[in-house]
Each structure stands twice: as C-alpha cells, then as structure tokens.
Structure 1
C-alpha cells in the first residue's frame, strides 16, 4: 500500500501546487495551510511522508516535528525552507528529519526525494512490525524461547533466510543447531524444496565423500548401482552440514570446490553435475582454535560463514529454561498418557539453578525421563533425579566480570540451594541469612523470570 503524503505550507499556492504535482506521480496527497491543522491530521495517522514549511504561523515546522517525535509518529519529515532557515533545517536533520528543500523548489530534486522518503518509511514500518512480532514470540518454528538472546537469533533468521547466503551456526552440543538450520530453510524461498542434513562426524573419510557426492555404478567393489549424494538430493533446497570441522582436510578441499563451482563429480564419474543448493553448516568447536589447529580450512570457513550465527548455551539464557521445560513436559505427558499438571515449586527452583552442561538436549531428556517415572500429578526434584545431576556438575559458582550484584546474588543463592538439595535450612546457613530471607529471595528471583508460554 502506497504511503500517503501531507503537505503543510501556509502559502496556499505552494500547497496546492505540490498536491497536483505529486498526485500526477500516483501519490495520495492531503494539504494543510497551518501547523495546527497539520498536527490534527497527522494524529489521525496514515501519513508516510510530511512536507512541512519550516516557518508557519502558530505551530511551525520545527514544533510540528518535535510533537511527532514525542508521539513516536513514524512518518518521514521533509522541510521546505527559505535560504535564511537552512541552518535550522540541517539541525533538524541531525535530530531525525529526512531532508529539506529550499525555496524556490527544485522540482527534479523533489521528484527524486519523495520516492526515497516513502521507501525509508516503508522499511521502518516493516522493521517495526518484525520487532513487535518477535517481542511476543516464544516459539519460532521448532525453536522455543523468549529471552533477548533467542530473539536476536530469530531476528537473524528472519533477515538471512530469504537470501542465498551460506550460514554458519556455532554452538555447543545440544543447543539446537539443526533446529536453527531447519528454521532457516522453512523461512526461505526454498521451503518447498528438500532439507538434507548430514552429520560429518558420523562417517569415516571414504564413506563421507560417498555420502556427500554419491557414486557411479562400478566406482568401487560393491557399487552395483549409481547413488546420488547429499548434494544432488538437496537440489532446489537446503543442505545442512553438521559438525563440518570434523571433515578430513582432503574432503574439505573437495567441498570447497563444489561450493565455489556449484558443481561436482560423483565418485568414479566424469560428468560435472550442476546443483542449486543453499548450504547451512554448523560446529561445536571454537572457530579460531579449529582454524589454527588445521581442523578447519580458513578458506572453507569464510566460504561457509557469509553469515555467522552464534547460538548461546542454555546457561546464558536461563529465562528460557522454564518455558522449555514446560513445553517438553506437555509433549511427553500427552505422548505417555500421564495426567501431569506441572512442576513442583522445588523442581522449578532446581531447573533454574542447574547449569545444564548438555544444554537443551539434556533438559529435554531429563524432563522426558521424569515424565515417564513420576507417579504423581507434579514433577518433583526426585523425579528429575537432581542428586545424580548435581554430582556430575562442579561445585563452583562462575560469575563473569561485569555481572550485576543482583544477578550475582541470584546465581549464588540458586546454586547454593541446588547444592544442598533443596534444604532451606542448610542453604540459609551456608549463605549466612535466615530462612525467611532465603525464601523471599527465591520467590523474587523466580518471579523475575518470564512467564511460561501457554
């Protein structure tokens, strides 16, 4: 939908002239002959661009612009100004106005400026709409979370998915790298095409090359028929290369060539096969260390990582733990026919305090096991086998430099409570506070987490 334009100028002939000129170019244009009338019209909404005379009786252009900024009205403002007021117009641009036009008006410049201003308004509106959708999002495809960290991931996926750029996902094991790759595919123009995933760490060198590129009949002993590889199978869609840094160096060379040429030869073949694919890769390794050690070729990394995407571990987005846990609980309770209402308060406290070194995968498996084993209507710490989990975790509290005192207190309190297996008296004693204070802190810390998704 084309954005409407408002022309506000106290000289009627200028306002009417601009209206006719812009209407001839296909724009819907309204006019106002003073700032007060213009402000009333702007408040009713719908304008993408406002051309305002800098000097008008009553409410002038600068005052009109100030009111629009205060009310967060997103229209682009172009000032019409005489020579003596150019400095004021330039200052207004520093404050966010789009541009200015000097009198007498240069019609060619006006006609060039208006489409750009309209486009700027439309881009801002699209971004604002996206931000509003992401702000209320707790699910994104099969990804779950509403923390700031996950919202940044969602925003990156939304921005990158429509492109053809290669994306490299970096994250610890269990963080959901394949789910991110699937979400990228589902949001892309290739969504109706195949999504082919291969774990490069799961195959020895000879088999991996065969899995990637396929083979011709008779290429080796036992090759009784031709076989297409993942590159061919992903034609028209997305190829996801998980744990790509586990690939042998000579296979990395062949992969790099295939990516650059968008063609390859099957094992035992002579014909170049052209493919149209989008490649998404992933690793759980530290990129710099992998490159320095020779595990990952630097030229291959740069080819794969046009857009790098860092997926945070679960301990860095603790606000998502409860949302994830309750989502898993609903799923497994339904699958197993269990009438489970939720987690006990003590179980919630443990879920928040444990570091989850295995990330989302560990949380998912823990909740599934608890759902199967529990005999009550609520999952308790015993159902989660929290004592076993705690024994596998170190007893240190890790607090980064720059952490707020509030967050440090939260981490220490929850970690101590977890360490003493939910014993309020022991936890209070170790922390040097009374039980009432401990319970108050636990309630405050848990209440600060986002509400679970329904």
Structure 2
C-alpha cells in the first residue's frame, strides 16, 4: 500500500516514517508541505496522511485541492480540532489528535483499506434513491410536512429554513411531487457552490458570444425548469448584485440570457432554502428585503434531528439495510448499546451525519452486529454541546489569527470568496484588525 505523509514538522515526519516503515505492507513517501505534495503525488498513492496546520498551504485547502481523488487521514493538534471537524465535512473519514500512538494510526489506515476495498468492489448502481420518501415520522416532522403539503397545492413561493443536514432538498422535492407541477422538472442549484462570476449564466443562460468561451447558446436553470420547480438552496449566499435580477424574474416572469436582449417567458415555481439568519442579512444590507418577502410567501421551518428523536432509529435501520444492499454486505443489525448511543447523540450534522455514521459503521464492522465501538462517535461526542455555527465561528477565528487577519488569505484557506467570508465575519461578530 502506497502511503504519502504530509507533515511540516520534521521530527513528527521522521517519527512517522520510521514507525510505519516497520510494516512491510506499507510503502512510504513523505513531503514537508502540501504545496510540495501537490506537485509530486500521483495516482499510485493509495492513502494520504496529512497535518492540518501547515505554512504555505493549510491542510483544509490541500484537501480541497485533492478534490476527493484520494483517501485521507488527518492528524492534528488539540488547538486545531475544529479544522479536523471541517475536514470531515470535506469527506475525510478519520482524524487523529496529537499526540497519538502509532498503533492508533495503523488501525486507522487499516480501517481505510477495508472501506476502500468494499466500496471499489461494489457492483451496485450508485444512483440516489427517491428523495421524496420519508422513512420515519415524528410529531415535529409531521407538522412540517403538513404545512409543506398545503403549500404544494398552490403556486406560492416557499422558503425552507433549518440547520445544515436536516434535508431541505428532500423537503423541496416533496413540495414539487405534491404539486400540480409534479410531472415537470425539479431543478436544484446551490448558491454557495457556484462562483459568483458564473452564477448569473447558470441561472439565466447565455447567448453565443456573450463571453470568450460561449461558443454556443445555453439555457439556464430557469428555462430548463420551465413548467416545473426550481430549488434555490443557500439563497442567503446569493450575491447582492444578482438579487435585483431575481426579484424582476419573480415579478415579471421573464428572463434575459447573458449577452442577449430577448425576453423569454418562464413558468417556474420557486422553492428556496437557507440555514442563515436572513433578518440579520437584511439589517446589514446584504439581502434585499423585497426579495425576502417574495421568496417567503410560505415559510417552512424544518426541525433538527434533535427535535425528531423518534426518527433516529428508523432512519438508522433503513440506512443500514440500504448500505448492505449497495455494498453486498451480509445482513447487519445494531447492538442495544449502539442503538442507545445513536439515540443519545446530539447529531449536530443532523440526518446527513447520521447516514454517514451508519454507512461507515456498516463497512467497517467485522461482525453481523454493529457494536458501540463500530460507530466511532467518541471523538464526535467531545463536541456534543457545540453547534455547527459555533464550530464554524471558531474555525474562521483560528484561520484569521493564523494569517494576521489577512481576509484574502483567510478566504483562500477556507475555500470561500472574500464576499462570503465578510458575511460570516459579520454574522458571527468576529473582530478583525483593519
């Protein structure tokens, strides 16, 4: 197995190299920086073990640059635990807090080998299941679904609000499939995932010659969703410059492609979503109040998984069965201790985190019963009382401090635009030196 170690501390790097070289099945290559590693790492590498707090290029940025091409284990000091949590959001399955025993790292490597083999050997179709099906119920969920179904019968705009991971796209699809537009297309777009300079053309399309690479005309999401539903996720991240154009579309029901002059009529139902405090954004002139009222005709608050405790076990069991089918695993079940832990955990990442934990446990389990240890929730439990927002705030503060409040550099490390970083600095009331 080819392992690349990326660690700026020479003592730590040499120690890991010496310790892991004792294992004949490991072939090691070491790098003193992420920048150096990016230049030399090739497809022969099976696994990367990387530090987070490194000069030049931070580990988070390094992981983003790798773009999911490699299995990654993160090692980090206590001071950078929040960055390790951020790395998990980026797809990293294991992180270790320094100091740690070499055996702990070896166990993590072996776990990753097991996961990789089972995932790669899977012959099942990786297509997503029907997102309109809710596999569990609770009083809190039923209340939100009842309101959503009422809204679906109309053509009014719906604004979905709730924490990250509660299933806002699932709710948007539910509205679509219970509406008169059910036979039309359901198109989803994440405002935070598309660079600002590309967002307008993605939404409204463009004409041939509108810009250098526009060799042909292209329809935008509004045209593609004609007769159906357009889901605008993370709407609070929409650039203020585009909000006026979106407002006009909602009022006039026409769009104009980038580089064009012809108005094109569109018939689209808008469902939007956010986990941000839009009222604060309005107060800071970062979000148009008139657009908010257009989008918020019918507000739906999606409860967190903490408010839907009775759904945890059914969702976990359903996910476990689906994972076993997907990876052709023997039938598995949870031990009583594992179920107790699932039900008592706070789930700051909500349903998305629950699904991830169950999938991981199923792949790694060596028995037909998933034990408490298979869940690997110990490290997550150290942050039970922290919300996603509080962790994000600490992460931003830590990065800003590491670059002496250079917001451009901090934005680069965090993988976001300076505009988005400024919004989050204001949102969390973070003090930054001028």
State whether TM-score is above 0.5: yes
* Matched residue, 1:243: 234
Look up the SS of the partner of 2:359 in the other structure: helix
Q: Distance in 1 between matches of 2:207 and 2:386?
A: 56
Q: Distance in 2 between matches of 1:199 and 1:218?
A: 26
Unaligned 5+ segments in structure 2 are: 1-129, 388-434
Q: Distance in 2 between matches of 1:279 and 1:242?
A: 11
Higher relative contact order (CA 8 A, sep 6+): 2
Change beyond 3 A, Cα 1:370–1:269: same
Does 2:306 correspond to 1:315?
Answer: yes
Which of residues 182, 185, 191 in structure 2 aligns to 1:191? 182
Q: Is the 8 A contact 1:340 1:376 kept in 2?
A: no
Q: Distance in 2 between matches of 1:293 and 1:320?
A: 38
User: 1:354 Cα shift?
Assistant: 0.6
* Matched residue, 1:103: none
CA offsets 1:157-187 (integer angstroms, 9 cap, x no match): 2211121000000011100000000111111
Q: Distance in 2 between matches of 1:327 and 1:294?
A: 44
Does 2:374 correspond to 1:386?
Answer: no
CA offsets 1:194-225 (integer angstroms, 9 cap, x no match): 11110011112220001000100011111110
CA offsets 1:269-315 (integer angstroms, 9 cap, x no match): 11000001100000011232222223321111110111000001111
Which of residues 340, 343, 355 in structure 1 aligns to 2:346? 355
* Matched residue, 1:265: 256
Which of residues 365, 372, 375 in structure 2 aligns to 1:374? 365
* Matched residue, 2:326: 335
Look up the SS of the partner of 2:159 in the other structure: strand
TM-score by length of 1: 0.55
User: 1:144 Cα shift?
Assistant: 3.2
Does 2:169 correspond to 1:178?
Answer: yes
CA offsets 1:227-279 (integer angstroms, 9 cap, x no match): 11001000000000000110110101110111110001100111000001100
* Matched residue, 1:254: 245
User: 1:323 Cα shift?
Assistant: 1.2
Q: Distance in 1 between matches of 2:284 and 2:164?
A: 20
Number of residue pairs the alignment of both structures matches: 258
Does 2:317 correspond to 1:304?
Answer: no
Look up the SS of the partner of 2:183 in the other structure: coil
TM-score by length of 2: 0.58
Q: Distance in 2 between matches of 1:140 and 1:146?
A: 15
* Matched residue, 2:92: none
Change beyond 3 A, Cα 1:379–1:284: same
* Matched residue, 2:225: 234
Which of residues 349, 356, 359 in structure 2 aligns to 1:365? 356
Q: Distance in 2 between matches of 1:284 and 1:394?
A: 19
Q: Distance in 2 between matches of 1:212 and 1:272?
A: 14
Look up the SS of the partner of 1:227 in the other structure: coil
Q: Is the 8 A contact 1:205 1:251 kept in 2?
A: no
Change beyond 3 A, Cα 1:243–1:395: closer
RMSD: 1.7
Change beyond 3 A, Cα 1:209–1:147: same
Q: Distance in 1 between matches of 2:242 and 2:278?
A: 18
Q: Distance in 2 between matches of 1:395 and 1:313?
A: 14
* Matched residue, 1:204: 195
Change beyond 3 A, Cα 1:299–1:395: closer
Look up the SS of the partner of 2:232 in the other structure: strand
Does 2:220 correspond to 1:224?
Answer: no
Higher gyration radius (CA): 1
* Matched residue, 1:276: 267
* Matched residue, 2:147: 156
Look up the SS of the partner of 1:362 in the other structure: helix
